[in-house]
Structure 1
């Protein structure tokens, strides 16, 4: 066999091995569309919320908000806790795309904490001047809270209810 032919056979074999390994890796990472939509929705809503907040408040308003948030230790803890929850939610979105089951449960826990705190703060059991939902009655506050959390409820639905989503997280 000529030298050139042996070289091309070896190269073709290596080339085939690379593609075989790549296709096996991709097969493990193929997430169902609903899971990907849910993870992208988490990322999009969080980033869009921040952009809209910064646009609405401006630089001066953001500085005033941060200044008001760090006037007492309890307000500082609440402010830092909300930033930590934001980072955890963003991390959950990336982990969910990888198929880690704990990501969707942690995201569910962050939503339960957020709804619980917003509900308590709106009823006057927390610091309503920092995080509260305006309303005349408990029913009106609850309706407004659920309207605000509707995108997150849809994301949770996409992660927990469809059988393809549940199967994806069981197999990973």
Structure 2
């Protein structure tokens, strides 16, 4: 087994969220890509980040737009995730219902939450670029369970303890 394959196999045991990073081009056409590396970076100032392969065509569109929206996909959006991950660049979000975020990037219908960002910086790391965004706005859209990627496959997460806690602190009222 090659070291690269071993690396991927072991890291596949770390579950990741499935996030659609979206933006629009100069003609306001939607573009997107799927990442499993979305994370918060800083509370003050509010910053988030994700990693993108340098060859990503969507990365060039994000550079030109200077903004992006991170959409946390829901457990029932595996088909959308696969389409965004495998379709040609201009067709990834075609036919998907969305509305513009405050900065103008697509907020996809049916997601768990979104974070709207202006690009703060790009950092070259290996064969990827770390994209850091300054949070402009964010919102929880639904109480659906999130879509996760684990050991090469999709799934969702539901914790009965989390549901009980949500009820106790009133989080189950969001989105109603």
Provide TM-score, normalisation by structure 1: 0.23
Q: Looking at secondary structure, tell me which structure has more helix per residue.
A: 1
Determine which structure has more spread, i.e. the larger CA radius of gyration. 1
